[in-house]
Structure 1
C-alpha cells in the first residue's frame, strides 16, 4: 500500500477544494449537508463521474488505494478521487481535514471543486457535501 501517494494527493486537493481558515486555530469536526439532491448517486468510476459533470478526466494518480483525475468543464474544474474500499476514502478524508474545505462525497469517491460549484455538482452526481474543518 502506498500511503505516501494518498497523503501526497491531499496537497493537490487544496488547490481545487479551497480550504477555509479556522480563526481559533483549533480543529473542528466536519459537517455534512442534508440528503443528496440527486436521486441516484454516481458510481465510483472517475470516467463516469467526469462525464456526468460534463468533462473528460485526465488521470493523474493510479495507486492501489486510490485513483485520481482532474477535469475541466465550462462551469468548473474538478478533482475526482475514487477508492477501492470505503476505509481508504475515510482515511483520505481524515487526512484532508488538516486542509479544511468542502468536498462532495459519495460511495467510493470524493470530488473537490470551488465551494460555489459544489451544489451544482451534487445535483448532477448525488453524494453529500461534507465540510472539513482545518487545523490552521
Structure 2
C-alpha cells in the first residue's frame, strides 16, 4: 500500500523588486564584463586616486570643474565622441564610443546602488575603471587621465580573484 500525502502549500516567496533588480544588474554585469575588460587594465602611468576619493566629496574634479551627469549621451558629448547605445535596460544603459585615441565603454545606472552592485561584480575580473556618480567608463590604458579631465570621477583599480600574474 502506498501512502498519498496531500500536496503541501509552497513556502516560497516571490522575490522583491529590488532583489530582482540587483540580480538582473549582476547578470548584466557578468555578461558585459568579459567584453569590457578587454579594454580595461594594463599600465597607465599612475592611477588617479587609485580607488580613493581625491576630494572630500568623493570625486576628483576635472580641470574644467564639470562633473558628468549619469546620461550616456551627455557623457559621450563631454568626452568628444558620438555614442552607439548597445544595452538599454532598466538597471543600466551602455554605449560604445569610438575615438582616434581608442574606444571606450560608458555605462550609466538609474541609482547609485546599481552602480555599486555592478562594480562589486566587476571585482571578479579586475581592471581599471573611471567611476563617477551613477556612471562607469571602461577604456584602454592611457585614456583615463584625459577622460577624467573631461568627465570628473576617480580612476579605480579593481583586484580580480584567483592567482595573479605577478605573485607578491
Structure with the higher fraction of residues in strand conformation: 1
Q: What secondary structure is seen at the aligned counterpart in 2 of 1:17?
A: coil
2:36 matches 1:13: yes
Q: Aligned equivalents of 1:37 and 1:116: distance in 2? A: 19
RCO higher in structure (CA 8 A, sep ≥6): 1
Trace 1:14-93 onto structure 2 (pairs within 5 A): 14-18=37-41, 31-32=51-52, 34-35=54-55, 36-38=60-62, 39-93=65-119
Q: Does 1:132 align with 2:155?
A: no
- Answer with 1 or 2: which has the greater Rg: 2
Aligned counterpart, 2:10: none
**Structure 1 residue aligned with 2:4:** none
Q: 1:13 to 1:47 in 2, by over 3 A?
A: same
Instruction: Give the aligned CA root-mean-square deviation in angstroms.
Output: 1.8
Look up the match of 2:126.
100
Aligned length: 127
Q: Is the 8 A contact 1:33 1:130 kept in 2?
A: no
CA distance in 1, matches of 2:115, 2:35: 16
Q: For 1:1-44, what per-residue CA distance to the aligned partner results, in whole angstroms no more than 9, with x for missing partners? A: 33422321112211111368xxxxxxxxx733634241221000
Q: Scaled by the length of structure 2, what TM-score is found?
A: 0.70
5+ residue gaps, structure 1: 21-29
8 and 109 in structure 1: CA distance in 2 versus 1, 3 angstrom threshold: same
Instruction: Name the residue aligned to 2:147.
Output: 121
